[in-house]
Amino acid sequence: MTQGRGGSAGTNAPTASGVGHLTQFLVQSRWNASIGLQRGLEVKLTGICGRYTLTGVLLALAACGDDGGGGSPASDVGTLAYVVTSCREVAGEATLQQELRILHGKGETVTAMAVGPSGPFVSYGLCAWFGRDRWGFAPVLGAFQRLGVTPDGTGVVFELTDEFALVGRDLLPTAQRGMYYVRADGSGLRPLGPASRFPAFQPVQIGKQFSDTTLSFDPRGRQFTYVDRGPDEAGDDAPQVFVQRLTTGARRPLTRLPRVAAAEASNHPDIAIPYFIDARTILFARFTALPDQYGFLTVDAVDAQIRDLPTVAPPGGTLIPVFQIVGGQWQVSSAGVPGEALNPLPGASPQEVFATEGTNVLQLTNFRRVDTDDAFGFFSPRDGRVYFPASADPLGTNPSHDCQMFSMEPLTRDLRQVTVFHEGGDHWAACLGGRRPNGCRMDFGHRGLPQNSVTGSIYFSSQCDPLGLNPNGTQLFAIQPDGTGLRQLTNLRGFVQGEDRNAEVETVGAPWAYVSPR
C-alpha cells in the first residue's frame, strides 16, 4: 500500500522504498524494564539455533560524505560526542549543570557547550535516585535531549530544551532552546532553529520508558531527521517526521499523519525512531495497537511518499520487518523467543541474538536469558564478527553472570568472551543494570557502528568498574576486539552520598554518539 503526503498508513504493505550501500541497522520493537522502545524488529521463533529462509527487504546505507557545515578536517581516530550531567542535591533541592564534550581525533576533549549551573530547584530526590542506579540523566533532567555526529565526524548537532524535564523544568531561558550545530573541534557554534515540541524521553509506566535521543543524518550529512509536532491531514497538531537542513536550518514535515488516540491514552509515542536508511528514505515506527505494538513505514525525504514495509514469517514464528544488507553484510538484532527464561522477568521472554544476510536469518545464541543483547549488538565488517552483551556463561568463564561483551563469527559459531568484568555475586539479570550489587550494563549507542574502522577499537558506555576508576557511575570505554587495550575514556565522579541524604552525581549517559574515520 503506497500513499502520498497526508495519507494515513496501514500495517500491511508489499513494498518498501530505498536500496543501497549499507551500514549496520536493525530496529527491534520491544519494551524492556530498563530501556523502553529500542528497535523495530520482533521475532518469535521456536526451537534451538537454526537457519531460516526469509523474503525480507534489505534497507540501509553506509554514511559518507561531508557534513555540509564547513566542519573540522576528518580525523584518523574518529569523533566521540557525549553529555556530562552534574547534579548536587542538598535538603531536597538540586543544582544542575550539563556539558557537551567532544573527543575528536588525537586532540584533547573539548567542552563545546555548557548549560548552568541552574537552580536550586525542588528535585524530589531524583538526583540521588538516578545516581544510585547509575543512570545518565539526560534527557530526564536538564536541557540536552537529542544528539548526532555528522557522517564524516566533522560536526555535531544537538538539541537544547528542558520543556519535558521530569523536574527542574523551565530553568533554561526560552531563547536558548533549539537545535544547534558545532564543529568537532568545539568551534563554529551556531543555532539551526527551534527545538522539537515532542519529547525525546517519556515514562510509559513503572519500569517502562521510551527514549529516542539520536539524530539520524542522510549519508552525505546534509540533513537530519527527528520527530516534532505539526499539522496532520485535518490541520490538527500531531507528531510528525521532520527533516532539517544542516547548512540553512530550514526544516519541514514529511508526514501529515493523524494522532493515534490509543498511543496517547497509554502514554506511548505515536511516531518513533525516524532513521535515514539511504540518501532519501527515512524509516520510522508508528503505534498500531495496545499494549505496545508498532508497525514500520518509510517516507521519501524528497516527495514525502509514505510506504508500509512488508512482513515475512519464517517457519514456526512471526517476523515483523527485517532489514538486511545488499551485498552480503550481516545485520544483527536481538529478539524474543518462546519459552521460560533461566532468569525470568515478569512479562519478558528470553532474548536471543540473530544475524541476517541476504534472505537468511541465523539464530546465534540459545542462552535463554532475558537480558541478552540489551544494548544494540552489531556486526563488524572489519572483523567479520558479531559483538553483543550477555550475562550468560557459555564458556565457563562467567560463573557470576556479570554482563560481558561477547563476539561470534556467524557461520562458524566461533564464540569468544571479550571482557572479564566482575561486580561480585551471582547476578540475576546483570545486563539490565542498576545499583550495586545488581549488575552493570553496557551500551553500544543507539545507532550506527561503534567501532573505529582503522584501529578496531570498540566504544561503549558501561556502569561496570573493570579498572577501579568507576566505583558508582557510568563511563565511556574503548576496547580492542580481542579484549586487550581496555581504556576508560571518561573520569567522572559518579554517585557520592553525603550526610543528611545529600548527594553529588557526575555521570555520562544518553545521548552519546561515535563516528569512525572514513
Tens digits of residue pLDDT in 351-384: 889 887 756 778 899 999 999 987 778 999 999 9
Q: What is the pLDDT of residue 76?
A: 60
Domain tally for the chain?
A: 1
193 falls within a domain: yes
Please state the three-class secondary structure of 338-370 as a single string: CCCCCCCCCCCCCEEEEEEECCEEEECCCCCEC
| Weakest-pLDDT range from 44-58, 301-315, 475-489 | 44-58
Q: What range defines the domain where residue 89 resides?
A: 63-309
Do 477 and 489 form a contact (C-beta atoms < 8 A)? yes
Please state the three-class secondary structure of 169-234 as a single string: CCCCCHHHCEEEEEECCCCCCEEEECCCCCCCEEEEECCEEEECCECEECCCCCEEEEEEEEECCC
pLDDT band at 238 (very low <50, low <70, confident <90, very high): very high
141 falls within a domain: yes
**What percent of the chain shows pLDDT beyond 70?**
79
Query: Shortest CA distance to 127 belongs to which of 406, 501, 431, 518?
Result: 501
Q: Distances in Å between the alpha carbon of 198 and those of 146, 259, 456? A: 11, 13, 37
Over residues 314-328, the pLDDT tens digits come to 434 434 345 544 445
221 falls within a domain: yes
Which amino acid is residue 220, in one-letter code? R
384 falls within a domain: no
Does the pLDDT at position 56 exceed 90?
Answer: no
Residue range 434-452: average pLDDT? 83
Q: What cell does 200 get?
A: 525525546
CA pseudo-torsion sign 443, 446, 449, 454: negative
Q: What cell does 225 get?
A: 531527521
Distance CA 495, CA 506 (A): 7
Q: Distances in Å between the alpha carbon of 175 and those of 179, 194, 223? A: 11, 9, 23
Q: What is the pLDDT of residue 185?
A: 95
79 falls within a domain: yes
Does the pLDDT at position 469 exceed 60?
Answer: yes
pLDDT band at 188 (very low <50, low <70, confident <90, very high): very high
Average model confidence (pLDDT) across the chain: 79
Distance CA 197, CA 145 (A): 11
Over residues 402-419, the pLDDT tens digits come to 999 999 999 999 999 999
DSSP 387: E
CB atoms within 10 A of CB 203: 15
pTM above 0.85, yes or no: no
35 falls within a domain: no
136 falls within a domain: yes
177 falls within a domain: yes
Q: What is the CATH number of the domain that holds 291?
A: 2.120.10
